[in-house]
Structure 1
Amino acid sequence: MRADRLVATLLFLQTRTRVTVAEVAAELEVSPRTARRDLEALSTAGIPVYSQRGRGGGWSLVGGARTDLTGLTAEEIRALFLLAGPSSTTPELRTALRKLVRALPAPLRAGAEAASRAGLTDGTNWSRADVTATGPHLDALRRAVVDGIQVRLGYAGPGKPVGVRTVHPLGLVTKAGHDYLVAETERGLRTFRLSRVASVQATGEPVVRPPGFDLPTVWRSFAARLEERLYAATVRARAEPGAMAILERLFDGRLHVGPMLPDGWTEIRVDGPTPEVVATQLAGLGARVEVLDPPEARERLARLAVELAGVYGPPGSF
């Protein structure tokens, strides 16, 4: 443990012109007495560490001496911190990354710290889809986020043609196999699904980050608003026993199973953005599910039945 502390102390010295015993103690979470003892041990071991007494004094490395303990290239460092940035929940990993930042030469440290803030993985699933949908522009957007460069983004929203806008890339989030860009726009913070990005062109202009921007906090806010819309309506229905396994796979956490009815069927409730959307999703189970309410869901199924009969004809017409 002491060897680990001594290395951490050395790395901390490399990031500062001069440090005090109190600062070292706070950074390494040890007592001031232990911090002073470790600093003296480094000096005794021949490392060019010296102390200066008096006002404005402290401990420094002679001549700003540095030790690069990583041997990593700039691209390797950026890739590592992108993968393990703010989504790192393991204390050991956070500690290791903090030590690695201290070990990096100054020209590489800013890029590593930017990369550590650039990515996030959200483990909750909005659907059962496990496909990966990134699009071909992930690398370009990752560079823009890390380098802090504005881009002209070609983007096609659902049911809309491609439009071009200038955005300030702030972070990338992976959720349920899909990648999203979080960016500041002229209309405020927005998210863009990468599979809908048509083009990316760097402008060379620096990104302007909103005051206090924190990627995990902003994403939680976006996700909460979307989940509210996903669960805005509830449809009540009854399902035959053979349909329950399909319903569980289809709706996952949006399915609520009620009591078994006298005829052996089961009462269920399904959440979704609107009654019509839920009814459309249930339509594929045919007569194995009977929607009870609300009326809008039953009306949607009735319209679907008429439309399908018009296309395919009544049963047995083939």
Structure 2
Amino acid sequence: MRTDRLVAVLLLLQRREQVTAAEVAQELEVSERTARRDLDALATAGVPVYSMQGRGGGWRLVGGARTDLSGLTASEARALFLVAGPASAATPAVKAALRKLVHALPEPFRTEAEAAASSLVVDPRRWGTSRVEPRPPRFLDELQDAVIRGVQVRLGYADREGAETERTVHPLGIVAKGPSWYLVSNTEAGRRTFRIDRVSSADPTGDPVHRPEDFDLAESWREIADEIDRERTPLQLRAVCPPHRVGLLRMALGDRLEVGGPTADGRVEVVIRGHSEYLLAGELAGLVEYLEVTGPPGVRDQLASIGKALVERYG
């Protein structure tokens, strides 16, 4: 940790040219006493740093020395914050360390590192039952670069039916969900989400992106994903089950299960979302000993039909 702090102090000196012990302490979240010891340690180690006493004083590098101990190129700094920034699943300790480091990075690394940290959201939940392993689509790097640099893109895109269109979009972020990658953008028609494997061309225009001040990629994606989930599973089934079976249902149904309050007989009300009565009945047929479906009637009829067919075949 001491070595990491000394590197951060040196990078801070490079960026600001002059710092006080109080400023170092605030940036690195240490005491002023620790900050002074670190500054003295740099001088003792032979780094050309010296202190200026009196009002307006502080610590400076001799002749504005530029010793890059980080070893980071601009692209490496971007990559570091891309995979471990605040928007990812990094541990709290990693996030805290990166937040400190970003304040010490020299320009122009800092701006793009901060942008990279908020450019990607990873949503591990899959839609459907696909087990296809994710493969980065063709234009992923170009679109992610546009998000980080904040430039508009002329986007070629094919819809579900294969019809090609072209439009200018304002890239706001990239989302990886299971095996699929999505681009969240502002367009003339409002905010839109594009599957990146359907992108046929991506040409940066150089014009700046118009990014809402309050935009948060993770929050925006939660809203988008919830809306898509509702569209994919429009049917709501009502049922009751014993409280000790709720955990099993949650394992089987995931986010499609909503748990309500207790019933008069001690069971628990649940709501299960599905695509159709037929498919939902087939899915729940193996769970009949754990829950009782109360509606809609069509699902109960489908379950009765499945039960009759099983009895006729297997006796």
Q: TM-score, normalised by structure 1?
A: 0.71
RMSD: 4.0
Q: Distance in 1 between matches of 2:49 and 2:141?
A: 42
Native 8 Å contact 1:118 1:146 kept in 2:
yes
Q: Distance in 1 between matches of 2:5 and 2:286?
A: 65
What does 1:111-130 correspond to in 2, within 5 Å?
A: 111-130=112-131
Gaps of 5+ in 2: 241-248, 260-268, 303-315
Gap change, CA 1:45 and 1:70, over 3 Å in 2: closer
Q: CA deviation at 1:210?
A: 1.5
Q: TM-score, normalised by structure 2?
A: 0.72
Native 8 Å contact 2:28 2:100 kept in 1:
no
Q: CA deviation at 1:208?
A: 2.2
Q: CA deviation at 1:72?
A: 4.1
Native 8 Å contact 2:21 2:58 kept in 1:
yes
- 1:47 counterpart SS class: coil
Native 8 Å contact 1:170 1:182 kept in 2:
yes
Deviates more, 1:229-238 or 1:157-166: 229-238
Corresponding residue number in structure 2 for 1:59: 59
Q: CA deviation at 1:269?
A: 6.5
Native 8 Å contact 1:128 1:249 kept in 2:
no
2:30 equivalent to 1:30: yes
Corresponding residue number in structure 1 for 2:185: 183
What does 1:25-104 correspond to in 2, within 5 Å?
A: 25-86=25-86, 87-98=88-99, 101=102
Instruction: Specify which of 145, 148, 160 is matched with residue 146 of structure 1.
Output: 148
- 2:50 counterpart SS class: strand
Native 8 Å contact 1:52 1:58 kept in 2:
yes
Deviates more, 1:286-295 or 1:177-186: 286-295
Deviates more, 1:59-68 or 1:92-101: 92-101
What does 1:170-209 correspond to in 2, within 5 Å?
A: 170-209=172-211
Q: Distance in 2 between matches of 1:288 and 1:43?
A: 72
Aligned partner letter, 1:173: V
Q: CA deviation at 1:79?
A: 3.0
What does 1:161-172 correspond to in 2, within 5 Å?
A: 161-172=163-174
Native 8 Å contact 1:11 1:99 kept in 2:
no
- 2:276 counterpart SS class: helix
Instruction: Specify which of 198, 216, 219 is matched with residue 214 of structure 1.
Output: 216
Q: Distance in 1 between matches of 2:55 and 2:227?
A: 53
2:139 equivalent to 1:137: yes
- 2:213 counterpart SS class: coil
Q: Deviations over 1:60-112 (max 9, x none)?
A: 22232222224344444433332222314313322443465467553444333
Corresponding residue number in structure 1 for 2:6: 6
Q: Distance in 1 between matches of 2:48 and 2:180?
A: 50
- 1:15 counterpart SS class: helix
Q: CA deviation at 1:155?
A: 2.7
Q: Distance in 2 between matches of 1:29 and 1:20?
A: 14
2:315 equivalent to 1:278: no
What does 1:295-306 correspond to in 2, within 5 Å?
A: 295=297
Aligned partner letter, 1:114: A
Q: Distance in 1 between matches of 2:110 and 2:70?
A: 12
Deviates more, 1:8-17 or 1:104-113: 104-113
- Percent of aligned positions that are identical: 54
Q: CA deviation at 1:172?
A: 0.6
2:19 equivalent to 1:19: yes
Native 8 Å contact 1:122 1:174 kept in 2:
yes
Gaps of 5+ in 1: 239-246, 258-267, 302-318
Q: Deviations over 1:232-266 (max 9, x none)?
A: 6422589xxxxxxxx99974443589xxxxxxxxx
